[in-house]
Amino acid sequence: MSTTEKLDLFKLHKAEYAAPKEPKLVEVGPAEYLTIEGRGEPGGEDFQTALGALYGMAFTIKMTRKIEGLGDYAVCKLESQWWNIDGPKDGWQWKMMIRTPEFVGQDDLASAAAKLVEKKKGAGVDGVKLERIDEGRCVQMLHIGPYDKEHETIAKMLAFAKEKGLAVHGRHHEIYVSDPRRVPPERLKTILRHPLRPAS
């Protein structure tokens, strides 16, 4: 076992994961993520396959590096981005993401994917990518309640941004604090984030 302290990116970048009860401005630096993209209803079959592939890869990469003595780190919470969500749910587009240390490289992904395929747990793993995302200044707020009530929290965030002379751009971003499989919808905690630019 490694004797070095386990790296926890959520703790290291605590300010970026603020979960205030009112909208707040945060500065989010460039960050590496394991990602997988798709289209369709959240919770649908494609979505579940993608999620399984993303978690499988995140876990396999982490544990392979750990057993090879390359250091240990916590697998971060699940995050996501959403776009084209004005129409019916089957057209919604999403990217599921898990923040990952910068030292994880393409060769880690390739070897993890090969292992999962060999163990017949490889569905969807070829869609998992390594991506650098730079969001900069964002508005952020904790949403408590069902996902389909997020618009109420988002309205507050937009009003706050407008007041500051800022407008949203880029993709809506979510960070999942609670486990939707068991936590009742009214108690679900989700951090909502949206990148900002000066209002024109």
Partner 1 sequence: MRTTTLEDYRERVLRVLLHIQRNLDEPLDLVELAGVAAFSPYHFHRVFHGMVGESLGGYVRRLRLERAAMALKGSDRPVVEIALDSGYSSHEAFTRAFRAAFRVAPSEYRGQHAPEIPLSVDPREFRPLEPEDPAMRVEIKQVEPLRVAFVRHVGPYNQCGDAWDKLTTWAGSEGMIGPGTQFIGLCWDDPEITPPDKVRYDACITIDRDTESIGEFGVQEIDGGPYAMTTHFGPYEEFDKTYVKLIGQWAPRSGRELRPLPCLEFYLNSPENTGPEDLVTDIYLPLEAC
Stretch that binds partner 1, among 35-43, 46-54, 87-95, 134-142 (CB under 8 A): 46-54
> From the list 1, 22, 45, 132, which residue makes contact with partner 1 (rule: CB under 8 A)?
1
Query: Which residues, numbered 156-195, are part of the site for partner 1 (CB under 8 A)?
Result: 177-179, 181-183, 189
Reading the block at residue 159, the tokens are 């009003």
Nearest by Cα to 170 from 195, 140, 137:
195
Least Å distance, CB 89 to partner 1, is 22
Residue closer to partner 1, measured from CB, 7 or 199: 7
Gyration radius of the chain over CA positions: 18
21 makes contact with partner 1 (CB under 8 A): no
Does 123 sit near partner 1 (CB under 8 A)?
yes
Q: Which residues contact 65 (CB under 8 A, 6 or more apart)?
A: 71, 72, 104, 108
Q: Binding to partner 1 by residue 12, rule CB under 8 A?
A: no
**Of 130, 129, 144, 140, nearest in space to 28 by CA:** 140
Please state the closest distance from residue 182 (CB atom) to partner 1, in A. 5
Query: Which residue from 112, 141, 142, 166 is in contact with partner 1, where contact means CB under 8 A?
Result: 112
38-71 burial by CB neighbour count: b if 16+ within 10 A, else e?
A: bebebeeeebebbbbbbbbbbebbbeebeeeeee
| Token pair in block for residue 137 | 């200044």
Contact 148, 76 (CB under 8 A): no
Q: Does 85 bind partner 1 (CB under 8 A)?
A: no
* Residues found near partner 1 in the complex (CB under 8 A): 1, 8, 10, 48-49, 51-53, 55-56, 59-60, 62-64, 66-68, 74-77, 112, 114-123, 177-179, 181-183, 189
